[in-house]
Homo-oligomer: A and B are copies of this chain.
Amino acid sequence: MPRAKGRQPVSSPRIGYHHGDLRRALIEAALSLVAERRGADLSLREVARRAGVSYAAPYHHFADKSALLAAVACEGFQGLVSKLERAAARKESLESELQAMAEAYVAFAMEQPSHYRVMFLPEVKASADSEALHAASERAFGLLLERVVRARPAAAASAHEVVAVTAWAALHGLALLSIDGQLQHMFPKPDKMLLHACRTITGMVKGGEKA
């Protein structure tokens, strides 16, 4: 189907075309909607409305509602990656790098709960053009895996991936439970608990030397 993007060198600062770059505008609109509504799922029509176009317009830029969400999820993973990199940078020890990354991961999810949830929507991963999504997701996991490998030089190579996945799963679960408020009635002050939990998880990475 239609797939044109860079029409002209997008010289004019204003909208030169029907809309200029609707694809981008739709992603931004969806992003802002996701940021506002906590947990409610956004409708494609509402995204179009916010972008100032009719409800069928998005179908000229995205095959599907899931495709739009996939783009939104992709931006989310990029943001996650940059946050993780920023958190790990300028830490002296490997251990503090891991700890900082774990905290940053959970913090990201807590700061943008809806966005984080979109990033893991099952129908989004099954979307058609989830190529970029996979790449971004792998990149985020790669950051973690890298540190895990360096933190466990004595362990077998295959165990590295298992431990990294387990650590990722732990952070993922912690983020989701926290977002859902599933453990708020147990911990009125969740921040302290989250820090402690992150420490427990990073400790698991070191301690997982296999029995």
Contact = CB atoms under 8 A, between A and B. Distances in A.
Interface in A112-149: 120, 122-123, 125, 137
Interface of A: 39, 120, 122-123, 125, 137, 159, 161-163, 165-166, 168-174, 176-177, 179-183, 186-187, 193, 196-197, 199-201, 203-204, 207-208, 211
Nearest to A182: B125
17 contacts: A125-B182, A137-B182, A159-B196, A162-B200, A165-B186, A165-B193, A166-B174, A169-B170, A169-B176, A172-B173, A172-B177, A173-B173, A173-B176, A176-B176, A199-B211, A203-B204, A204-B204
* Chain multiplicity (copies): 2
A11 B125 CA distance: 49
Contacts of A197: 162, 165-166, 169
Nearest to A206: B207
A200 B163 contact: yes
Give the secondary structure class of A's interface: helix
B125 A193 contact: no
B208 A176 contact: no
A179 B122 CA distance: 9
Contacts of A162: 193, 196-197, 200
A173 B180 contact: no
Contacts of A207: 203-204, 207
Given A122-B39, A207-B207, A177 B186 contact: no
A141 to B, nearest CB: 8
B200 A166 contact: yes
Contacts of A125: 180-182
Given A122-B180, A169-B174, A176-B173, A201 B204 contact: yes
